[in-house]
Structure 1
Amino acid sequence: MFRLSNNLIGILNILTFLLSIPILWAGIWLSNKGVTECEKFLDKPVIILGVFLMIVSLAGLIGACCRVSWLLWVYLVVMFLLIVLLFCFTIMAFVVTNKGAGEVLSGRGYKEYRLGDYSDWLQKRVNNTKNWNKIKSCLIDSKVCSSFHDKYLNDTVEQFYSEHLSSVQSGCCKPSNDCGFNYAGPTQWTKGNTSSTNPDCGAWGNDASTLCYNCQSCKAGLLDQLKSDWKKVAIVNIVFLIVLIIVYSIGCCAFRNSRRDNDYGKYPLGR
């Protein structure tokens, strides 16, 4: 008669296997139907995740229900490595997002963002030309500044300055406050008289494909959004880590039971 731990591992892995099917399908769909750089960038990781979940769940399911000890052993090794990797990623997420915050401006509802305020590790990632070109393509494809323009199109300059913009909108869709540009529209600004040495002033362009996508403030705005997202992910990871540890413990019990049952089958008179 199967023990409780074996049954629990079997049920959990059936659920994981069912979850892997839509994930794998989504990755294949993105690979065939994806048209933007962002979508194409996601297809391979999603397919790998789907295949990984499917193989691991099958190993756990067969190992627990059919009492195949070596499959359960493989399952537990993979689970242990996953716990270690998730723990390391969670710690890293808290460390690299510990620095950086928007600068409050007098008379403005939004903040401005400086790249140097964020961790060196994150700065290196966005300062890499290849990485940033992909990110910039994603920002343009997502139409973050197009929707920004449409939303605030009828604002007067006073109304616009009082708006609470997201970090990406503030960093990528408008010029830096240092530049002293004159407001003509959410994404339309005319150059004024300024002695600012901020390099972002020269990087700004009114063209929808230029704006401030090449600005340091855009990279900083993205990192601020990433910082917020990573902290949320890290909290979810802690919960997921606890669940994995519980499942791993149940899996250890199932492995012990399967090995004991197999030994009993080999040596029935000695037990």
Structure 2
Amino acid sequence: MVRCSNGLLGLLNAAVLVLSVVVLGGGIWLSHRATTTDCERFLERPAIALGVLLLALSLAGLAGALCRKSCLLWLYLLALFVLIVLLFAFTVFAFVVTNRGAGWVVSGRGYKEYRLGDYSTWLQRRVEDSGNWAKIRSCLQDGKVCGKLAARRETLGQFVAANLSPVESGCCKPPTGCNFTYQSETIWDKPPGFNSTTTDNPDCTTWSNDQTALCYDCQSCKAGVLANLKNDWKKIAMINIIFLIFLIIVYSVGCCAFRNNRRDNSNAYPAWK
């Protein structure tokens, strides 16, 4: 039983070690790319930090299990417990802040439109922060989302029947209520005499046929980004649940190994004495 629990803990931590090397290597690779975009810069630091954390945990677990160092194993279990608590808290938080918000069906359209006010206040504040939005806007431009939409060369009938993504719907075209005239996927003509006093929707005024501007600063674009974020966070939360189960199993095996190490040490002492 002693060797079994220690061996199993060592095997599990070996798997975590391999994972940490992959994550850490990916973060370092992103940081050294000559053509790194703002989106990739946003990912590199969390990837490196996560890789270092997993590497330290796996090495402590391996040393504690295979070398039967109770002090290392105790520190490992403490760090693992904190990680489980933090991961559980983040998972609950992700479900709470993404609970609100959904696309609105537009009559006669195959796509939905999105309103910023439908999402949680916490998410709204994140995208309305000028510094955050500048980075997100840069990511959208780097990803050429609207450029790919414009390359379709669809007729108006094909376009209105298309199932656009939230970002395409919110950032690459004006809201349907603006009643602009379709020229292409990303070019819409404003009606004669249009100005800020003829509409109560600020996105209609913000829209520009400049392909570097479009509706990137519209409320609908921010809402589209949050719709994508909501879907991504829910997927991450589901992955976190699976990872939590794995960590709880590792923690349970670690507790058994720690108890066995303590028992071995206490049994070995009288024999040595």
Q: Common fold, TM-score beyond 0.5?
A: yes
The structural deviation recorded for 1:269 is 6.8
Task: State the distance in 2 between where 1:238 and 1:20 align.
Answer: 19
Name which of 221, 224, 228 aligns with 2:224: 221
The structural deviation recorded for 1:87 is 0.9
Amino acid at match of 1:41: F
Amino acid at match of 2:215: C
Q: 1:192 aligns to what? A: 191
Number of residues of Structure 1 aligned to a counterpart in Structure 2: 268
Amino acid at match of 1:75: Y
Question: Conserved in 2, the CA contact under 8 Å of 1:178 and 1:196?
Answer: no
Q: 1:169 aligns to what? A: 168
Q: Does 1:208 align with 2:211?
A: yes
Task: State the distance in 2 between where 1:149 and 1:75 align.
Answer: 53
Name which of 247, 256, 260 aligns with 1:257: 260
Amino acid at match of 2:189: T
Structure 1 residue ranges without an equivalent (≥5): none
Question: Conserved in 2, the CA contact under 8 Å of 1:93 and 1:234?
Answer: yes
Q: 2:234 aligns to what? A: 231
The structural deviation recorded for 1:79 is 0.9
Q: Does 1:90 align with 2:91?
A: yes
Question: Conserved in 1, the CA contact under 8 Å of 2:2 and 2:257?
Answer: no
The structural deviation recorded for 1:83 is 0.9
Q: 1:124 aligns to what? A: 125
Q: Does 1:179 align with 2:182?
A: no
Task: State the distance in 2 between where 1:93 and 1:268 align.
Answer: 54
Structure 2 residue ranges without an equivalent (≥5): none
Q: Does 1:62 align with 2:63?
A: yes
The structural deviation recorded for 1:265 is 2.3
Q: Does 1:244 align with 2:247?
A: yes
Task: State the distance in 2 between where 1:237 and 1:198 align.
Answer: 39
Task: State the distance in 2 between where 1:38 and 1:66 align.
Answer: 42
Q: Deviations over 1:195-221 (max 9, x none)?
A: 321111111111221011000000000
Report the TM-score, using the length of structure 1 for normalisation. 0.95
Report the more deviating stretch, 102-111 or 16-25: 16-25
The structural deviation recorded for 1:2 is 4.8
Amino acid at match of 2:138: S
Task: State the distance in 2 between where 1:44 and 1:97 align.
Answer: 24
